């Protein structure tokens, strides 16, 4: 994180707090979240997008809401930081909604997502007066309408659309139907008439959903939404998606004579995990987005809609680190590609692993690691940092240079673990999930307590096992 530093003795500090002091107080593995970095990133997105869309001619100006995507990392303290920084909160389940409400986030500043929301989740959202429910299918539109009628409220609804953009490869193509579970396809039955040969929205599921939502008695259709993927660096996919959704809004205007007020462009902005990753800064993303939206609206004769975005990783990812204690170190003779003969790979085992960070095993994700508890002048040696789970794929950092004198008891810090680590953590092998400590201006406070062995056994019902004799 931006506020990581070394103290006079060479030990790593975060938010002005020595990480060694944190390991003494909270043990390892543990997650540490820099509150200053989190708030700074939240503000950076908010300010950059508001400024970019407040510039230009009066008819090009619009307001922007930034919905922090709670799935990346959510607890009560973080939900409060989000609200205090003037952001809204995107939730993806009844549980995330529960945390948002417990934190006191006003319902109007909460969104609810999901491709298979239960009636209970929708009822909770309607009772809380959420600012938007993002509908993902035609049957869901009918269900929300019925539940709104039953609750006696109007439901603000956005439609999640599938713009047919393949962002990761930035080899995006106008696929007629994206083969995945989310959203309503924009692809209709015939050519779009834009000369590209691409299929237009006439007769598409997206069009049918707009018709249904406008006809529904208890719904307010407030706009359309898309989310093209995650950990994306290139602007192309975002820009293509924005153009396609605006073209769809123009189609809706032709068909219904109404301009839908809001366009949500989702999250997915990438962060740096390892040296060499070059993510765009929020200001750059905001300026590019505003330019594309304005240009496209001008071409299509649309008013610039209200804009929202849903960054998760790009706000919390670099604010978090994980601390581990080094245990077993083993030199293994291996055939390394590109080397002649046999070489040695140093396996450095730590006291956590895929239960606190499943991303390397799930997505082949890369991380880095540094010696946090001291400095060392020893020569750097190529190491693989591995966890303590019963799987050979349990890798924390695939390749990293660490000092030759690394020894058991040293503390390693793995940066950029703020997003999708704690939220994806598990109790695999009955490991307790680590707690989360927030650091800020030289002080540290736990915001999620680490699990204990009592927690580990709490839901296991021994009486159900029948006979007590074994
Ligand atoms: N909005 C919607 C509708 C989403 O589905 C997501 C992420 C976001 C916003 C936030 O995306 P972000 O800005 O954080 O990239 N577990 C995976 C990431 C899954 C993302 C799911 N949806 C990982 O660890 O990489």
In whole angstroms, give the CA distance from residue 369 to residue 359. Answer: 15
Predicted local confidence at residue 199, as pLDDT? 76
Between CA 243 and CA 345 the distance in angstroms is 49
* 424, 359 contact by CB (below 8 A): yes
Please work out, in degrees rounded to the nearest 5, the angle formed at the alpha carbon of residue 112 by the alpha carbons of 220 and 432.
175
Tokens linked to 420: 């999708």
- With a 6 Å cutoff on the Cβ, whether 96 touches ligand 1 is no
Mean pLDDT by groups of 10 residues along the chain of 470 residues = 81 91 95 98 98 91 98 98 98 98 98 98 98 98 98 97 74 52 89 71 95 98 96 92 97 96 97 94 97 97 97 98 98 79 90 98 95 94 97 97 98 97 98 98 97 96 76
69 lines ligand 1 (CB under 6 A): yes
Do 293 and 329 belong together in one domain?
Answer: no
Q: Which of 273, 303, 309, 272 is nearest to 289 (CA)?
A: 309
Q: Which domain holds residue 424?
A: 4-34+318-449
Tokens of 158: 């956005």
Residues 289 and 392 in one domain: no
Ligand 1 pocket residue status of 312, Cβ below 6 Å: yes
- Taking CA atoms only, the protein residue closest to ligand 1 atom 17 is 420
Record the pTM.
Answer: 0.95
Looking at residue 171, its pLDDT comes to 46
Q: Is 226 a catalytic residue?
A: no
DSSP label of 85: T
Q: Residue 319: left if φ>0, alpha if ψ -120 to 50, beta else—which one?
A: alpha
Q: Clarify whether residues 92 and 177 are in a common domain.
A: yes
Measure 230 CA to ligand 1 centroid, in angstroms: 5
Same domain for 345 and 378, yes or no, is: yes
Q: Give pLDDT, residue 193.
A: 66
Ligand 1 atom at shortest distance from the alpha carbon of 270:
15
Q: Are residues 8 and 121 in the same domain?
A: no
What ipTM was predicted for this assembly?
0.99
In a domain, 465, yes or no: no
Q: Are residues 138 and 80 in the same domain?
A: yes
CATH of the domain at 113: 3.20.20.10
Q: Token pair of 141, please?
A: 């539109």
Which of 75, 88, 226, 390 is catalytic? The answer is 390
């Amino acid at each position: 994180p931006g506020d990581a530093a070394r103290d006079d003795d060479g030990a790593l500090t975060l938010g002005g707090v020595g990480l060694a002091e944190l390991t003494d107080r909270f043990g390892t593995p543990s997650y540490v979240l820099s509150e200053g970095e989190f708030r700074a990133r939240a503000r950076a997105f908010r300010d950059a997008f508001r400024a970019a869309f407040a510039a230009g001619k009066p008819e090009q100006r619009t307001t922007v809401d930034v919905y922090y995507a709670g799935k990346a990392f959510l607890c009560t303290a973080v939900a409060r930081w989000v609200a205090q920084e003037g952001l809204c909160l995107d939730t993806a389940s009844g549980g995330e909604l529960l945390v948002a409400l417990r934190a006191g986030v006003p319902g109007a500043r909460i969104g609810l997502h999901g491709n298979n929301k239960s009636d209970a989740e929708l009822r909770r959202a309607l009772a809380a007066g959420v600012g938007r429910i993002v509908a993902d299918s035609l049957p869901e539109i009918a269900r929300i309408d019925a539940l709104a009628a039953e609750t006696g409220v109007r439901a603000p609804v956005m439609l999640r659309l599938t713009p047919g953009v393949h962002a990761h490869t930035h080899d995006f193509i106008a696929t007629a139907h994206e083969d995945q579970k989310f959203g309503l396809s924009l692809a209709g039955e015939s050519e779009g008439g834009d000369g590209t040969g691409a299929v237009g929205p006439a007769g598409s599921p997206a069009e049918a959903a707009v018709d249904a939502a406008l006809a529904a008695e208890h719904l307010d259709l407030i706009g359309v939404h898309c989310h093209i993927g995650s950990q994306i660096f290139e602007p192309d996919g975002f820009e293509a998606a924005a153009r396609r959704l605006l073209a769809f809004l123009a189609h809706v205007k032709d068909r219904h004579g109404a301009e839908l007020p809001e366009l949500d462009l989702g999250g997915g902005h990438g962060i740096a995990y390892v040296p060499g990753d070059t993510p765009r800064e929020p200001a750059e993303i905001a300026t590019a987005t505003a330019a594309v939206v304005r240009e496209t609206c001008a071409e299509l004769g649309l008013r610039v809609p209200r804009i929202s975005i849903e960054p998760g990783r790009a706000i919390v990812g670099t604010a978090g680190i994980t601390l581990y204690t080094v245990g077993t170190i083993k030199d293994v003779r291996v055939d390394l590609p590109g080397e002649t003969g046999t070489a040695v790979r140093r396996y450095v085992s730590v006291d956590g692993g895929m239960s606190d960070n499943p991303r390397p095993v799930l997505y082949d994700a890369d991380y880095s690691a540094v010696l946090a508890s001291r400095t060392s002048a020893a020569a750097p040696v190529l190491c693989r940092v591995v966890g303590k789970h019963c799987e050979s794929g349990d890798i924390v950092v695939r390749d990293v240079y660490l000092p030759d004198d690394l020894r058991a008891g040293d503390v390693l810090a793995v940066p950029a673990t703020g997003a999708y680590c704690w939220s994806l953590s598990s109790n695999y092998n009955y490991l307790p999930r680590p707690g989360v400590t927030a650091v800020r201006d030289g002080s540290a406070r736990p915001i999620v307590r680490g699990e204990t062995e009592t927690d580990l056994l709490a839901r296991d019902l021994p009486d159900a096992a029948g006979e007590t004799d074994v």
